[in-house]
Amino acid sequence: MGEIIVATFEKSKSINDLNKIKSMGFSEQDFEQINEHGVLLEDIKKQLAIFKKGIAKMELMEAATVGNGILKLTDEEFVEKASFFDEHKTNLKLLKFVPASGAASRMFKFLTTFLNEFDIEKETINAYINRKKENKLAVFIIGMEKLPFFETIHKKIKEEFPDFDSFTRDYKNYYFIKFMLDARYFDFASKPKGILPFHKYATTIATPIEEHLYECGYYSSTNNKSHLHFTVSEAHQIDFEKIIDNVRDKVEKETQTSIEVSYSYQDKKTDTIAVSMNNKPFRKENGELLFRPGGHGALLENLNKLDADIIFIKNIDNVILHNNEKIALYKKALAGILLELQQQIFACLHLIDSFTATDHKIDEIIVFLKEKLNIEVKADFDLYKFENQIKILKSILNRPIRVCGMVKNEGEPGGGPFWVKNEQKEVSLQIVESSQVDLDDKKQVKIMEHATHFNPVDLVCATKNYKNEKFNLHQFVDENSGFIVQKNYLGKDIKSYELPGLWNGAMANWLTVFVEVPLITFNPVKTVNDLLKEAHQS
């Protein structure tokens, strides 16, 4: 009988959804595709409304600077905070979360362009560089012998061309680039960054995966155990596993740490619908709707499923040569700041729950909010009854916490720290991308130009509440902070929606602290030429 009721309910629900989708202008075939993809109808409805309405730009109040939203520590204070972390981490589960599903296509983009445009029979490489003003290609050619994979590729070319040594310099350089990117040989641009050779040591060559394993041993371990989580494309997981199987014993022996590695994929239900330039659902040649990945904000779903007390978040390409104690120092210091704040926040929440918070104690909590968390209560807070004041303070304090490292702005593209006013006229610290700002507004542009720091995706997070329960991280997202981006699909311009960024709008309503960290902590490999920088050269 129960099975019949369930079946009847599911049939009724399906008919209801089908009626909904028809009212949105979709067909039964569309319904089947949407259902199979796992995307919620309500999400599609919201996304289509966003395309038509557009996304409101963020209102910057001022740039966050040292002493005004960014905490600056002395060398002694960094050591002190790191020690605090080491002293209090024993009973905690630590986890390192590494978004690693992206392909390395951008890393080699200028070289792919070169192969597509250059004709070695008609032009010299130097003439091409001068004609295209392609300085990156010049830097690559000058330094390519220092790349960790130079000898491997060079050896393969010589196997294919026994007389390679007699080639002209142009032909040698051309074939090196071709072999590096050609699908028949190394195909680097199609592979995930995590498995590429990044660093050359005396006897080995290391990938970013190996470097992240080492980092776990240095700062994300407790009781000789550490946990490392990669978000990957399902097709690439086996490549990650092979590398880890090859290096795990060595890393665990050197760091005296047992490392547990886990994986997750970007959930298809977080994909978003694409539209034409006039905001109509875009259809592929076979008539199907086009869905695209929802950007790194989709990984909030992955993060939300993880169970840990402290989570370090760092991008796959931001690694340096291992055995670097300084990196460990600054990461542990950020975690120490978080743990210290968390203890104080939890004490306030337990005090509130005990109903013994006196007016005097409330004043202390308000001062704590302002001085430690950069939060000011509303001007009319004193007019509320005691019970309502308690509720307000609890809603402010009972949130996930993030401590974000900030480096001095050296002209890198990406988000920066700002004071932002939301639609409710509340001012808070946020990480803001330039695409979220009205660049036609001179005042907003001027505020952006005064930014002194940059967000290198260097976060330490706490995602459990004072009762040791996991937060539902989806409850703390600013839903109005997504991105509309223009893309190209088989030669046709389309628009796509990206979800609020993982460390931008997806964490907009977290308790947030920004801390200045040294530039040494930020050494990403955005292009292959970055591997020639000192941090990546032994």
Q: How far apart are CA 215 and CA 320, in angstroms?
A: 10
Q: How far apart are CA 34 and CA 288, in angstroms?
A: 10
Q: How far apart are CA 88 and CA 85, in angstroms?
A: 5
Look at the chain and report how many structural domains it folds into: 1
Both tokens of 64, joined, read 């966050």
Percent of the chain at pLDDT > 70 equals: 95
Evaluate whether residue 166 is within a structural domain. yes
List the helix and strand counts (H, then E) for the chain: 16, 20
Evaluate whether residue 153 is within a structural domain. yes
Evaluate whether residue 145 is within a structural domain. yes
Reading the chain (538 residues) residue by residue, the pLDDT tens digits are 444 433 433 444 455 666 666 667 788 888 889 989 998 888 999 999 999 998 989 999 999 999 999 999 999 999 999 999 999 999 999 999 999 887 899 999 999 999 999 999 999 999 999 999 999 999 999 999 999 999 999 999 999 999 999 999 999 999 999 999 999 999 999 999 999 999 999 999 999 999 999 999 999 999 999 999 999 999 999 999 999 999 999 999 999 999 999 999 999 999 999 999 999 999 999 999 999 999 899 999 999 999 999 999 999 999 988 767 888 999 999 999 999 999 999 999 999 998 776 777 899 999 999 999 999 998 889 999 888 999 999 999 999 999 999 999 876 666 799 999 988 888 999 999 888 899 999 999 999 988 999 988 899 999 999 999 999 999 999 988 998 999 988 889 999 999 999 999 999 999 999 999 998 888 999 999 999 999 999 8
Evaluate whether residue 30 is within a structural domain. no
Please, are residues 215 and 319 in contact by the beta-carbon 8 Å criterion? Answer: yes
Q: Residue 185 belongs to what domain range?
A: 106-190
> Which one, of 183, 186, 98, 184, lies nearest residue 148 by Cα?
186
Sign of the Cα torsion 121, 125, 126, 130 reads positive
The four Cα atoms 67, 68, 70, 76 give a dihedral, to 10 degrees, of: 10
What pLDDT sits at residue 323? 61
User: pLDDT tens digits for 383-409?
Assistant: 998 889 999 999 999 999 999 999 998
pTM of the full structure = 0.92
| Gyration radius of the chain over CA positions | 26
Both tokens of 168, joined, read 């002209």
Longest CA–CA separation in the chain, Å = 87
The count of residues in the chain is 538
* Residue carrying the six token digits 């970055």: 530
Q: How far apart are CA 510 and CA 462, in angstroms?
A: 10
> In the 3-class helix/strand/coil scheme, how is 146-204 assigned residue by residue?
HCCCHHHHHHHHHHHCCCHHHCCHHHHHHHHHHHHHCCCCCCHHHCEHHHCCCEECCCC
Evaluate whether residue 133 is within a structural domain. yes
> Which one, of 339, 324, 336, lies nearest residue 518 by Cα?
324
Evaluate whether residue 403 is within a structural domain. no
Would you report the helix, strand and coil content of the chain in percent, each value rounded to 5? 50, 20, 35
Evaluate whether residue 292 is within a structural domain. no
Both tokens of 157, joined, read 């070319």
The four Cα atoms 301, 305, 310, 313 give a dihedral, to 10 degrees, of: -30
3-state DSSP assignment of residue 386: helix
* Residue 246: alpha-carbon gap to chain centroid: 27
> Which one, of 102, 316, 315, lies nearest residue 208 by Cα?
316
Please, are residues 316 and 99 in contact by the beta-carbon 8 Å criterion? Answer: yes
Please, are residues 80 and 468 in contact by the beta-carbon 8 Å criterion? Answer: no
Both tokens of 519, joined, read 């530039």
Evaluate whether residue 155 is within a structural domain. yes
Q: How far apart are CA 429 and CA 421, in angstroms?
A: 9
Report the Cα–Cα distance between both ends of the chain, in Å, rounded.
70
Q: Please, which residues bridge with residue 63 across strands?
A: 418
* Residue 230: alpha-carbon gap to chain centroid: 12
User: pLDDT tens digits for 165-208?
Assistant: 999 999 999 999 999 999 999 999 999 999 999 999 999 999 99
**Phi, then psi, of 385 in degrees rounded to 5:** -70, 160
Helix (H) or strand (E) holding 240: helix 237-255
